[in-house]
Chain A
Amino acid sequence: MVQLQSHEVIVVGGGGAGLRAAIAAHEAGADTAIVTKLHPVRSHTGAAEGGINAALRDGDSWELHAKDTMKGSDFLADAPAIEVLAKDAPENVIELEHYGMPFSREEEGTVSQRPFGGLSFPRTTYAGAETGHHMLHTMYEQVVKRGIQVYDEFFVSRLAVTDEPDPTDRTCHGVVAIDVRRGDLWGFEATRGVILATGPAGQVYDHTTNAVTCTGDGQAMAYRAGVPLEDMEFVQFHPTTLPSTGVLISEGVRGEGGILYNAEGERFMFERGYATTDGELASRDVVSRAELTEINEGRGFEDEYVYLDMRHLGRERILDRLENILHLAEDFEGVDGLTEPMPVKPGQHYIMGGIETNEHGQTCIDGLYAAGECACVSVHGANRLGGNALPELIVFGRRAGLHAAGVDLGDPQIVTGRRGAVEDWDGTFETEIGAVDPEPAYTDSGVGTDVVEAAIDAEQTRIDELLDREGGVRHPEVRRTLQRAMTDHVNVFRELSGLQIALKEIRSAREAYQHVYVEDSGKTFNTDLIQAIETQNLLDVAETIVMGAIARTEFRGAHWRAGHQARDDDEWLKHTFVSWDDGAPSLWFKPVLLEGEKTYEPTIRSY
């Protein structure tokens, strides 16, 4: 049975970005609903530990926050976006306090802040080592307070977008979702706008701090609808994840004074010259590479990890500020952080790239917005600083919500889509990319509900095909092949030959996917079907990561390329874009914007 609903603003996702967007749209007077595959409190924002950056105190300023962020990005972030982030963060973080968020407190009762990697001022505002949990629950509480409608356990699988040849002429009219519990297809018309806030895509890797549900659905749906994905080659590997599971040990441990050492007992960040000023608190890409170099050169433990030690901080301080870390080390590694060092190694953590948006969260498709980790506005460029994702969620979630509800935010400075100073990539890939079997266009540009209904039909066809296939490959196998290829070849250190292999393996995984079948043919809570669709999304997203990594022949931020061991500002002060082009993807560039209110001259990035 097909159901049709209409709201002014549809927010896809109930994590930090989605909840903030919904509150903003609702407060601006729009009839707003959240459609989310997980109940909001299950979102992965809840896993964030360390904190949220905002210039709140004397001696700090938005200018310093902006400058640190630009340097951290290795000069690949857009100045207008960074300035919005740094300027809005203080008010938006204090707003969380007004919502009742239980931040850690100083003696005088104000919210606590701590040092984090790459920051010139201790501006990471925190709530124990579970900042994300408190932020997520606090915002969900505010959604309950306002009575905003939440369709939870509704899996959005397609956008209802018109099909003009040029994506910048298209309009988004809503989304199609599977009611997971009952199995029905729903059409959600959005008369003002759809905001994608679907979060991370870390499941393209097998050792990741991301949840099993972080499958890049929003990125993949926007991409297939014609929105370019920006800077996808920039993937952050966090230096301190537990070797067995990929569970994160917060940077807060190093922020509070935790140290790293190798099997020779050396504090290698200093002693081996990786970051002689900031040591363990250098930027994440720097620390991850240092660890892997130590391990590869035989100075790791069991050839796999190094040690992170916080014992010297003392019991009281650890219990006060990092208690959650003790539980994680105990539960997943059987280690007592009070009396033993913790084994750590780099793990996939965050994708800097995403759905291209401007400062208002708008994509190049009219009525389609994105915010949070699935978006790229871009504030993180080639490397995200710790504590800068959570403010991004609320700053740009809020702005997207306001704009979608019709609030005038002024003229954006960032131009989206294939417009302006576009430069095409002149290289080629050794492997075929894109759709194996291009989908036919599925809509005429018509009025809202027609477009939604056409999208429902197209989705029904896809689902029937998946369900009707008998025998073939199971999707966990396809997913594993993909995750292994990405982990083996598109990791911290990248070589052209490995990247080409990854692209080939993605191709064969795509071909295998043509024969994927769903074992569960039931309607009720069919997670087998949902995961099959998620796997398709992972394939699309992973391919764009590899394409970008092949094209970018320089070493910038998180992107290290063998044979191209320097940042090349003459050639590469530009963003990478991959657009789907109805199944035959292309790669192109637009210049980075280093001028906002201030001008940011690229300098050597050393810590």
Chain B
Amino acid sequence: MSTHDTQPDAAASSETDTDRDTVVLEVFRYQPDDEDAEPYYETFEVPFEEGMTVLDALLHARDYGDGTLTFRHSCRQGICGSDAMFVNGRQRLCCTTQVSDLKQPIQIDPLPHQDVIKDLVVDMDHFYDQMHAVDPFFDPDDPPSNELEEQLQSPENREKIKMATRCIWCGACTSSCNIAAGDNEYLGPAPLTKAYRFINDEREGDERRKQRLEQMTDDHAVWRCQTQFSCTEVCPKDIPNTEHIQELKRLAAKYDLSLF
């Protein structure tokens, strides 16, 4: 384990995690271009600032410390979904997590159950594939023919799908899910929430709804869920994924019984 002191004034830093002026990060490192690359943990000490997020701390470690430290990030405000990581044993967005809310040293790992590309960057391809697998697009039975004609939707129906439309594709939920970890083909929470969003959108129509429900009865869809709620707990957008999946189970059961 190596230590990087990124404080301009090295003498002022101390080793203890009770020192409120310093943030200690234990960061997972993996540099695939190095020969015989092996993962390791590296310690960074960065000066604490009021309101500092985990992302701020990582940026400081990178920009004032080690330029090879690699992680995705963009918006800094919890909307782009780039920086979900495993922080102190839990999937979180680094940019919306306050350092002051965490125990130190803060351990930062890449999202579990995904291949690591480099340091904190994971391969998202499988997650995207699963998202794409549910036909994640609006596809009405009868599209309006007039360019200015609105498809009506009641405020109640909009409210019903509201939480499901908030997903930012961060991958935290799938990463937290034991079932997804064991069954690579399981669609996983976010894709199922996406399906929920369209199945419950009154604008699409019955035909499309049937096709979507048909998919929900597949072996690797809703029935796999064992209601462990981890996906709901970690979701940074407070999306009740488990509830959505439970409701889809009820709809899928009805569909199986050809009640539609």
Q: Could you tell me if A46 and B75 are in contact, using CB atoms closer than 8 angstroms?
A: yes
Q: 10 other contacts beyond A333-B51, A522-B118, with CB at 8 A cut-off?
A: A47-B75, A91-B147, A98-B143, A100-B137, A109-B152, A144-B136, A245-B77, A476-B67, A518-B67, A525-B121
What are the interface flags for A99-118 relative to B under an 8 Å C-beta threshold, 1 for contact and 0 otherwise?
A: 11011111111110000000
Q: Could you tell me if B144 and A134 are in contact, using CB atoms closer than 8 angstroms?
A: no
Q: Does B155 contact A (CB under 8 A)?
A: yes
Q: Which of A100, A213, A527 contacts B70 (CB 8 A)?
A: A527
Q: Could you tell me if A99 and B138 are in contact, using CB atoms closer than 8 angstroms?
A: yes
Q: Which of A109, A130, A245, A518 contacts B153 (CB 8 A)?
A: A109
- Taking CB atoms, residues of chain B closer than 8 Å to A97 are 150-151
Residues on B facing A (Cβ under 8 Å): 31-34, 50-51, 62-64, 66-68, 70, 72-82, 96, 98, 117-118, 121, 124, 128, 132, 135-140, 143-144, 147-155, 158, 161-162, 165-169, 198, 201, 203-204
Q: Does A514 contact B (CB under 8 A)?
A: no
Q: Which of A47, A94, A100, A332 contacts B51 (CB 8 A)?
A: A332
How many residues of chain A are within 8 Å of chain B by beta carbon? Answer: 63
Secondary structure type dominating chain B contacts: loop
Q: Does A6 contact B (CB under 8 A)?
A: no
Report B181 CB to chain A, min CB distance, Å: 23
Kindly report which residue of chain A lies nearest to residue B30, judged by CB atoms. Answer: A524
Cα(A111)–Cα(B155), bound, Å: 10
- Taking CB atoms, residues of chain B closer than 8 Å to A521 are 33
Cα(A520)–Cα(B136), bound, Å: 38
Please list the 4 inter-chain residue pairs (A to B) with the smallest Cβ-Cβ separation, ordered nearest first.
A100-B138, A109-B152, A519-B67, A522-B33
Report B31 CB to chain A, min CB distance, Å: 6
Complex A-B: 25 CB contacts under 8 Å: A46-B79, A94-B150, A97-B150, A99-B138, A102-B158, A102-B165, A103-B158, A111-B150, A128-B162, A138-B138, A141-B137, A211-B76, A212-B75, A247-B76, A331-B77, A476-B63, A519-B66, A520-B70, A522-B33, A522-B34, A524-B32, A525-B121, A526-B70, A527-B70, A528-B68
Q: Given A38-B80, A42-B81, A527-B70, do A98 and B144 touch, yes or no (CB 8 Å)?
A: yes
Kindly report which residue of chain B lies nearest to residue A145, judged by CB atoms. Answer: B137
Q: Given A47-B77, A247-B77, A476-B63, do A525 and B70 touch, yes or no (CB 8 Å)?
A: yes
Cα(A107)–Cα(B154), bound, Å: 7
- Taking CB atoms, residues of chain B closer than 8 Å to A133 are 79, 166, 168
- Taking CB atoms, residues of chain B closer than 8 Å to A476 are 62-64, 67
Q: Could you tell me if B31 and A474 are in contact, using CB atoms closer than 8 angstroms?
A: no
Q: Could you tell me if B138 and A331 are in contact, using CB atoms closer than 8 angstroms?
A: no
Q: Could you tell me if A144 and B76 are in contact, using CB atoms closer than 8 angstroms?
A: no
Q: Does A512 contact B (CB under 8 A)?
A: no
Report B145 CB to chain A, min CB distance, Å: 10
Cα(A594)–Cα(B158), bound, Å: 42
What are the interface flags for A307-344 relative to B under an 8 Å C-beta threshold, 1 for contact and 0 otherwise?
A: 00000000000000000000110011110000000000
- Taking CB atoms, residues of chain B closer than 8 Å to A39 are 124, 128, 169
Q: Which of A100, A103, A245 contacts B76 (CB 8 A)?
A: A245
- Taking CB atoms, residues of chain A closer than 8 Å to B148 are 56, 90-91, 94
Cα(A2)–Cα(B20), bound, Å: 50
Q: Could you tell me if A46 and B168 are in contact, using CB atoms closer than 8 angstroms?
A: yes
- Taking CB atoms, residues of chain B closer than 8 Å to A90 are 148
Cα(A94)–Cα(B144), bound, Å: 10
Q: Does A181 contact B (CB under 8 A)?
A: yes
Kindly report which residue of chain A lies nearest to residue B50, judged by CB atoms. Answer: A244
Cα(A103)–Cα(B151), bound, Å: 11
Cα(A55)–Cα(B154), bound, Å: 22
Q: Could you tell me if A46 and B80 are in contact, using CB atoms closer than 8 angstroms?
A: yes
Q: Does A142 contact B (CB under 8 A)?
A: yes
- Taking CB atoms, residues of chain A closer than 8 Å to B153 are 105, 109
Q: Does A41 contact B (CB under 8 A)?
A: yes
Q: Which of A42, A98, A99, A525 contacts B74 (CB 8 A)?
A: A42
Q: Given A110-B152, A211-B75, do A525 and B81 touch, yes or no (CB 8 Å)?
A: no
Q: Could you tell me if B154 and A105 are in contact, using CB atoms closer than 8 angstroms?
A: yes
Kindly report which residue of chain B lies nearest to residue A100, judged by CB atoms. Answer: B138
- Taking CB atoms, residues of chain A closer than 8 Å to B34 are 522
Which A235-270 residues have C-beta < 8 A from chain B? Answer: 244-245, 247
Q: Does A523 contact B (CB under 8 A)?
A: yes
Kindly report which residue of chain B lies nearest to residue A90, judged by CB atoms. Answer: B148
Kindly report which residue of chain A lies nearest to residue B121, judged by CB atoms. Answer: A525
Report A51 CB to chain B, min CB distance, Å: 15
Cα(A476)–Cα(B6), bound, Å: 14
- Taking CB atoms, residues of chain B closer than 8 Å to A128 are 162
Cα(A142)–Cα(B51), bound, Å: 38
Q: Could you tell me if A144 and B67 are in contact, using CB atoms closer than 8 angstroms?
A: no
Report A161 CB to chain B, min CB distance, Å: 28
Q: Which of A41, A134, A327 contacts B165 (CB 8 A)?
A: A134
What are the interface flags for A170-207 relative to B under an 8 Å C-beta threshold, 1 for contact and 0 otherwise?
A: 00000000000100000000000000000000000000
- Taking CB atoms, residues of chain A closer than 8 Å to B62 are 476
Q: Could you tell me if B168 and A141 are in contact, using CB atoms closer than 8 angstroms?
A: no
Q: Given A39-B124, A97-B151, A331-B96, do A520 and B75 touch, yes or no (CB 8 Å)?
A: no
- Taking CB atoms, residues of chain A closer than 8 Å to B82 are 38, 42
- Taking CB atoms, residues of chain A closer than 8 Å to B64 are 476
Q: Given A244-B51, A525-B121, do A94 and B149 touch, yes or no (CB 8 Å)?
A: yes
Report B196 CB to chain A, min CB distance, Å: 13
Q: Could you tell me if A106 and B155 are in contact, using CB atoms closer than 8 angstroms?
A: yes
Report A449 CB to chain B, min CB distance, Å: 29
- Taking CB atoms, residues of chain A closer than 8 Å to B80 are 38, 41-44, 46-47, 211
Q: Could you tell me if A109 and B147 are in contact, using CB atoms closer than 8 angstroms?
A: no
Q: Which of B152, B155, B203 contacts A100 (CB 8 A)?
A: B203
Report A105 CB to chain B, min CB distance, Å: 5
What are the interface flags for A514-545 relative to B under an 8 Å C-beta threshold, 1 for contact and 0 otherwise?
A: 00001111111111100000000000000000
Cα(A331)–Cα(B237), bound, Å: 12
